[in-house]
A = this chain, B = another copy of it.
Amino acid sequence: MSPMRPARRPRSEDFGARLSFDRGAPGRRAVDVPPWDGERTPLPDAHLLRDEVRLPELSQGGLVRYYTALSARNYGIDSGTYPLGSCTMKYNPKVDDLVASLPGFATAHPQSPPEEAQGTLRTLLELRHGLAEITGLPAVGLAPAAGAHGELAGVLMITRALEDRGELELRRRILVPDSAHGTNPATAAMAGFAVTQIPTGPDGSLDRATIEQELDETVAAVMVTVPNTLGLWEQGIEEVAELIREAGAYLYGDGANLNAIMGRVRYGDLGFDVVHLNLHKSFSTPHGGGGPGAGPVCCTQELAPYLPTPVLEEGADGLVRLVAPERSIGRLQQFHGNVGVLIRAYAYMRALGLEGLRAVSGQAVLNANYLRVLMHGHYDLPYDRPVLHEVVFSGTRQRREHGVRTYDIAKRLIDHGFHPPTVYFPLIVEEALMIEPTETEPPEAIEAFAEAMIAIAEESAEDPETLHGAPWTAPLGRLDEATAARRPVLRWQGGEDGE
C-alpha cells in the first residue's frame, strides 16, 4: 500500500496563510470588560480620539487554539537538542520560572519606595555579589537588558573614563578580533568609535604581532571574547591585558561564553577592565524565542563610578537602595533592568552553588570535546585541538566534493530531529558549523547528534539532492527568503474570514 499512501493524506492546510486577523468573526470576544456603572465623565474632544482600531475578533477558544497550534510549530530546548553555537541553549529549570513569578516579586512596582521592595532588592544584591565573585570584578551593574546592551554600557563606561582622563579626542579606535560576534563592532560604532579588525592566528587566538603594532595612543579599547567564538581559550590573554594597560587602553571582555569557564578562571584576575555576561545563556534563563535576557556589566573599581544607573547600595540602616553612580553613563532602561530575568538567574546560581557551577563548566567542556572526537574526520576541523564550550567544524569538504553547503547540512539535520547548530559564524571559518551541546545534553543525545551528522556526511556523497531539498519532515519546506526581503510583507493587510 505504501506507494498509494501519500494520496491518502488530505491536503494539509496552509496554516500560515491565515492570521488571527483572518479568523474569527465580527462580534466574537475572548474576554469581556467590566461595565462602568458610575457617573460618566465626558470623553476628551473628538479630535483627540481614535476611530475604529482593526484587531482580530475571536472567541477565547478560537484564540487559544490558534496560539496553541502555533506553539506546536516551534522547536524549543524542551523539544530536543538545540546546539546553537555561542547561544548556550541549555535546559532551563522550571523552578526558576516559578519563583520569579511569585506574586510578591511579580507585582512590585518599579517606583516603589525601597522599603516596599526589599525582597527584590536584596535578591539582586546577592546576585551582584555572586557575579562579582564569579568574574573577579568587584563592581557590577545589573541594568543591561541583554548582551549587546551590556556591551554598550561597557564601551560607554570606557568612553566616559577616557573623557575624564582627557584622552577621548585622541583615542578613537577600538580593536576587535575578526572572530568577534557582530554585536561587538556594532556596539563600538554605536559609541562613536572606529573599529580596527584584528586577525586570528593559526592557533585560533588573536594575532599577537598585529595587536602589538596596532596598540597605540589612538586606541580606546580592545574587545576580546573569552573563551572565543571558536570555542578556544584566548592564548596569553593575560599578557595581552598587560600590553593594553601599558598602552593606556582598556580591555573589554565579551563574557557571553562564560559557561565554559565558570568557577575555573576569572576575568578580573586576567586583567579585564569590564566584562558583560549573558545570564540568559550561562545562567539558564529561557530565551523566549528572542528574549528577554539580561546582560550585566562587571568592572574594576576604577570604572565603577561610570556604571549605568541604577546600582545597588546597602545603607547603614540595612536597607538596599537604588542609586546613581557619581559619573554614571546614565540609564539604559526607563527602570531597573530585566528584574524578572535576574531573579531567575539568582535562583539558578543558588541551586548550583560553586560546586554546581564548576560541574556545569566541566560537563559543558567535556560534552563539546566528546562531540569533537565523535565527529572527527567526517568534517573538516580548521582548528584541530581540544576545545572548551563549543567546537567549530567546517563544511568545506562537503561543499568542494559534493556541492553540498553547510546550509543544506543544517536543513537536513531538521529531518534527523535536531535543531541545527549556528552556521556561517564565526566569519573566519568558511561553511562554519558552530556546535555547542551545553552541559545539559546527556551522552546519548550527543552520540545521536554525531551519528546524524555522520549520516548526513554520507548522504552528501551518495544523495546530495536529498540535502539540497531538506527539510522534508518539518511543518514547512525551505522558505523564499529572497522575495521576503525584496518585496517585504511585514504586517497583516486585511483578508478573508472564518475562525
Stretch at the interface among A58-66, A153-161, A370-378, A424-432: A58-66
Complex CA–CA separation, A24 to B445 (angstroms): 11
Task: Kindly report how many copies of this chain are found in the complex they form together.
Answer: 2
A54 contacts the other chain (Cβ, under 8 Å)? no
A484 at the interface (CB under 8 A from B): no
Q: Does A473 lie at the interface of the complex (its beta carbon under 8 Å from any beta carbon of B)?
A: yes
**A8 touching B470, Cβ below 8 Å:** yes
What residues on B are CB-neighbors of A80 within 8 Å? 65
CB distance from A283 to the nearest CB of B (A): 16
Measured between beta carbons, the chain B residues less than 8 angstroms from A472 are 5, 8-9
Q: Is the CB of A62 within 8 A of B6?
A: no
Q: Is the pair B6, A499 in contact by a Cβ cutoff of 8 Å?
A: no
Residues of B within 8 A of A5 (CB): 472
Contact mask for chain A residues 47-70; partner B; CB cutoff 8 A; 1 contact, 0 none: 000000000000111101100110
- The residue on B at minimum CB distance from A1 is B469
Q: Which residues of B contact A466 (CB under 8 A)?
A: 8
Report if A25 contacts B (CB, 8 A): yes
Contact check, B6 vs A59: say whether CB atoms are below 8 A apart.
no
> CB of A490 within 8 A of chain B?
no
Contact assessment for B61 and A91 in the assembled complex, using a CB-CB cutoff below 8 Å: yes
Fill in one digit per residue for A456-499: 1 if any B CB lies within 8 Å of its CB, else 0: 00000000011001101100000000000000000000000011
Is A201 located at the chain interface by the 8 A CB criterion?
no
Select A469's contact among B8, B79, B498, beta carbons within 8 Å. Answer: B8
Contact A91 B64 (CB under 8 A): yes
List of B residues within 8 angstroms of A59 by Cβ = 91, 440, 442
A109 on the B face (CB < 8 A): no
In the assembled complex, the Cα of A19 lies from the Cα of B217 at a distance in Å of: 65
Could you tell me the distance between the alpha carbons of A440 and B28 in the complex, rounded to whole angstroms? Answer: 11
Interface size bucket, A side?
35 or more
Cβ of A72 < 8 Å from any Cβ of B?
A: yes
A212 to chain B, nearest CB (A): 45
A457 to chain B, nearest CB (A): 14
When distances are taken between beta carbons in the complex, the residues of chain B under 8 Å from A107 are none
Smallest CB separation, A4 vs chain B (Å): 8
What 0/1 readout, one digit per residue, does chain A (1-26) give for beta carbons within 8 Å of chain B?
11111101110010000000000110
Residues of B within 8 A of A60 (CB): 91, 93-94
Q: Which residue of B lies closest to A93 (CB)?
A: B60
Residues of B within 8 A of A442 (CB): 24-25, 28, 59, 62, 499
Q: Complex: how many Å from CA A455 to CA B11?
A: 13
Q: Given the complex of chains A and B, what is the CA–CA distance between A466 and B417 in angstroms?
A: 29
Docked complex Cα distance between A62 and B80 (Å): 9
A80 to B69, CA, bound (A): 9
Partner of A499, one of B25, B61, B445: B445
> Are B72 and A9 in contact (CB-based, < 8 A)?
no
**A9 near B78 (CB under 8 angstroms)?**
no
Residues of A20-45 whose CB lies within 8 A of B: 24-25, 28
A415 within 8 A of B: yes
Q: Tell whether A2 pairs with B6 under 8 Å between CB atoms, given A65-B78, A72-B72.
A: yes
Measured in the bound complex, the distance between the Cα atoms of B66 and A80 in whole Å is 9
A444 at the binding interface (Cβ < 8 Å): yes
Q: A64-B91, A65-B80 given; name 6 further pairs at CB < 8 Å.
A: A6-B6, A8-B469, A8-B472, A9-B472, A61-B91, A445-B499
Instruction: Please name the 5 residue pairs, one residue from A and one from B, whose CB atoms are nearest each other, closest first.
Output: A61-B91, A444-B498, A442-B499, A8-B472, A8-B466
Q: List 16 A-B contacts (CB under 8 A).
A: A1-B469, A2-B6, A6-B6, A8-B415, A8-B470, A10-B416, A24-B442, A28-B442, A59-B91, A60-B93, A61-B91, A62-B442, A65-B80, A68-B79, A69-B79, A444-B498
